[in-house]
Amino acid sequence: QEAHAAEMERTFIAIKPDGVQRALISEIISRFERKGFKLVAIKIVIPSKGFAEKHYHDLKERPFFNGLCDFLSSGPVLAMVWEGEGVIKYGRKLIGATDPQKSEPGTIRGDLAVVVGRNIIHGSDGPETAKDEINLWFKPEELVSYTSNTEKWVY
Ligand code: RTP
Q: Among 69, 110, 68, which residue's Cα sits nearest to residue 92?
A: 110
For residue 21, how far is the Cα from the chain centroid?
16
Model ipTM?
0.91
pLDDT of residue 77: 98
Residue 1 has pLDDT above 50, yes or no: no
Label residue 52 by pLDDT band (50, 70, 90).
Answer: very high
Name the DSSP letter for residue 104: P
Residue 29 CB–ligand 1 contact under 6 Å: no
pLDDT of residue 90: 98
- State pLDDT tens for residues 13-41: 999 999 999 999 999 999 999 999 999 99
Closest residue to atom 11 of ligand 1, CA basis: 98
Beta strands in the chain (DSSP E): 10-15, 38-45, 77-83, 121-123
Residues 81, 78: Cα–Cα separation, whole Å: 10
